[in-house]
């Protein structure tokens, strides 16, 4: 196996671990996890959850605790637009219910066997933000 395929494998494992921990966090906060890794041609949603009458589309960003940048710094406007398009497809697939929804971000800094830090930002972005060309990702450093 080449260096690049090993690095890719480690990257995917880290992402899966982060998503597993994010689901545990959401369940501990009394969310119902409805779906994981909802994929469509235009994008992917890491986690679809529900709390009370709110539908939540969650993006999970994980990094090793030694990373120089916060995981949230890697959530670009393009990714947010893809998440939004995937959310609209998800809503169509469940019959376009009249339901409130939002977009959350869960950021994880991970050590080999544990999470060093987990942050959950509710309502990290809105559909209105995606139409504004001046909109930039928040800097949470």
Domains identified in the chain and CATH numbers? 3-131 (3.40.1350.10)
**Total length of the chain:** 141
What contacts 129, CB < 8 A, 6 or more positions away?
Answer: 80, 135
Determine if the pTM surpasses 0.85.
no
Instruction: Please tell me what DSSP assigns to residue 27.
Output: H
| Rg over CA atoms, the chain | 15
The answer to whether 72 and 138 have CB atoms below 8 angstroms apart is yes
Q: What is the pLDDT along the chain (141 residues), one digit of tens a residue?
A: 565 576 666 656 777 888 999 999 999 999 999 999 999 998 899 999 999 999 999 999 987 766 556 666 678 888 999 999 999 999 999 999 999 999 999 999 887 666 678 899 999 988 877 775 554 444 433
DSSP notation for 53-116: TEEEEEEEEEEETT-SS-GGGG--HHHHHHHHHHHHHHHHHTT----EEEEEEEEEEE-SSSEE
The Cα–Cα gap between 86 and 75 comes to: 15
């Amino acid at each position: 196996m080449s260096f690049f395929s090993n690095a890719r494998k480690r990257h995917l494992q880290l992402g899966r671990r982060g998503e597993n921990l994010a689901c545990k966090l959401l369940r501990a906060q009394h969310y119902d996890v409805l779906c994981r890794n909802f994929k469509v041609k235009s994008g992917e949603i890491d986690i679809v959850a529900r709390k009370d009458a709110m539908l939540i589309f969650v993006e999970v960003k994980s990094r090793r605790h030694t990373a120089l940048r916060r995981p949230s710094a890697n959530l670009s406007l393009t990714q947010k637009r893809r998440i939004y398009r995937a959310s609209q497809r998800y809503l169509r697939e469940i019959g376009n219910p009249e339901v409130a929804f939002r977009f959350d971000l869960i950021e994880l800094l991970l050590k080999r066997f544990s999470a060093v830090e987990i942050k959950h930002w509710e309502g990290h972005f809105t559909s209105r933000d995606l139409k504004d060309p001046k909109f930039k990702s928040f800097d949470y450093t």
